[in-house]
Structure 1
Amino acid sequence: MLFLKKNLRVGTVLPQGTMFARGGSPKSVNSVSSPLESKYLSTILSHYKIPHSSIKAQQVADTLRSCGKPADKEEPHMCFSSREAMARFATKALGVSGARAAITRIHGHETPNTMYVVAQIAQASNNAVPCHPMDFPYEVFYCHRPREVQSLTVQLKGLKDGTPGVTATAMCHMNTSDWDEQYFELLGGERGEPICHYMPTNYIMFY
């Protein structure tokens, strides 16, 4: 889902196999009141009957560790199990009166063989709060406000028949000077240049 911003143009064909849909089993309703902190790991595992030595338990532990990272004034972040709380955090972090939410929408049926071509590009904002779903027994999102970003809405059409395909949200990191070298080797770019990524259907972006 990563690409160089300079390569985002009308007519650009996305790599074969690019898929935006994200499925998975339905999440349980949040019925445990334990905060999203590592010290409550055993309580959460016991409540949801997750074996302590399982891969799922490790995923839950990793999520709690990410959610418990110290506060950062430069890039505020927080985990949420409530959509309303996410919107309040985004509104405050963005310094706006009411944050708008954007998600990627698929129009029609997507398959691994679907090929997309960029039909239209529109800038949404130079300030955004993306929220990523985390591995957890119930719905939990990690939200943060990264610095020096640009959010976009990209209309994609089916390459073969030109029918409406996807209204995709994308985020571009405008300064990648401190990114790992592997990203530039992967994309054939130069350190510091803007790198973007599309957001799957289960991500939410506030702007």
Structure 2
Amino acid sequence: MKINLVHFYTLLSVALVVSDAVTPEVYWKLVLPDSPMPTIVKDLLYPTGMRVHATHKEKPGYTKVQPETLKTACTDTGSEDQFINNMNGTMYFLENDLLQGTEMKLNFGKNKNQKLSFIPRKVSDSIPFSSNKLPHIYNEFSVTPDSIEAKIIKQTIDECEKKDIQGEDTTCVTSLESMVDFGIARLGKNVKAITTEVKTKKDTSLQIYKVEGAKKVNSNEFVICHKKNYAYAVFYCHKSVDIRVYMVSLVGVDGTKVNGVAVCSTDTGKWNPNHLAFQVLNVKPATVPICNFLSEDHVTWVPY
């Protein structure tokens, strides 16, 4: 399903030729001069065809590193199929598994919505992003209301409009500039972005990875942004305080090296007692931190 590219690129051209236009990359350098831009963010800066990917048609798989947050997963009770699939790969693990030499079965394969690019804020601000503007949005991207693409757009907007859970500070950002602003507003001007980086040009498969080392990130506050499925790059961002974050070096049996971001939730007392993580790890709520790796399409903001 092709987006209305003629209209899109007209908007893009207008935004970039105005005298005060600042590209997302320039904005980053101006606001965060001492913070390197992660590779995954650089890869999302330029249009790549603007397609909505119907990834929800595929059968869910828990054998690869999931892009979901621990927070939004806390109501998931876990089906029998999910439990069995998790035995084939590591979705959740314990904090003490981050010791050197620990082996985990993981898949750091790229998500199919990862190629959807950021658009400049001037463009994103001109396009509605609201459930009461869905007809306008469908028309903007030449999407028919009863199509799979329309359902994906609606689902993402609905998720973004949900009320904050337990008072957590959340938002969905529709541009890189907005993401930067959200991180700074919650953590201060001295912030940096960290991401999981897979050091290979080929698509990796499910395999055994060995932990070579893990270093705790020295902060008690974080903003984590998770890529959503949409017509362009949209991220669900939330400020988290009841977590610990680690940078973990791993190497796969095929030689693939990964610098992974691991997030450990330290407050699981409010999770559903039947949460999949408790079943997989055979632990009870509020007893031990529960961790998972963030995939490449997550951006974690850290104060320094």
The one-letter code matched in structure 1 to 2:102 is: T
Asked whether 1:106 is paired with 2:198, we answer yes
Residues 90-115 of structure 1, C-alpha deviations (whole Å, 9 max, x = no match): 12212x32221001111124521542
Q: Secondary structure at the match of 1:121?
A: strand
Report matched runs for 1:181-200 at 5 Å.
181-182=274-275, 183-192=277-286, 193-200=288-295
**Match 2:239 to one of 120, 140, 145:** 145
> Relative to structure 2, which stretch is displaced further, 31-40 or 56-65?
31-40
Shift of 1:26: 3.6
Question: Identity of aligned pairs, percent?
Answer: 27
Query: 2:104 aligns to what?
Result: 14
* Equivalences, count: 203
The one-letter code matched in structure 2 to 1:62 is: Q
**Greater per-residue strand proportion:** 1
Asked whether 1:27 is paired with 2:27, we answer no
Report matched runs for 1:150-189 at 5 Å.
150-159=244-253, 163=255, 165-180=257-272, 181-182=274-275, 183-189=277-283
Q: Secondary structure at the match of 1:36?
A: coil
Q: Which one has the largest radius of gyration?
A: 2
The one-letter code matched in structure 2 to 1:11 is: G
> Relative to structure 2, which stretch is displaced further, 105-114 or 34-43?
105-114
Q: What is the distance in 1 between the residues matched to 2:212 and 2:117?
A: 38
Is contact 2:128-2:136 (8 Å) kept?
no
Shift of 1:118: 0.5
Shift of 1:130: 0.8
> Relative to structure 2, which stretch is displaced further, 114-123 or 30-39?
30-39
Q: Over aligned residues, Cα RMSD in angstroms?
A: 2.3
More contact order relative to length (CA 8 Å, sep ≥ 6)? 1
Unaligned 5+ segments in structure 2 are 1-90
Moved over 6 A (4+): none
**Match 2:185 to one of 88, 92, 95:** 92
Query: 2:139 aligns to what?
Result: 46
Query: 2:95 aligns to what?
Result: 5
TM-score of the superposed pair, with normalisation by structure 1: 0.87
Residues 111-167 of structure 1, C-alpha deviations (whole Å, 9 max, x = no match): 21542110100011321111011111111001001231111100001246xx46100
Unaligned 5+ segments in structure 1 are none
Relative to structure 1, is the Cα distance of residues 97 and 27 closer, same or farther in structure 2, using a 3 angstrom cutoff? Answer: closer
Is contact 2:98-2:213 (8 Å) kept?
no
TM-score of the superposed pair, with normalisation by structure 2: 0.61
Shift of 1:28: 6.0
Residues 14-72 of structure 1, C-alpha deviations (whole Å, 9 max, x = no match): 11x52243344742664562332211111111111222112221221121112223457
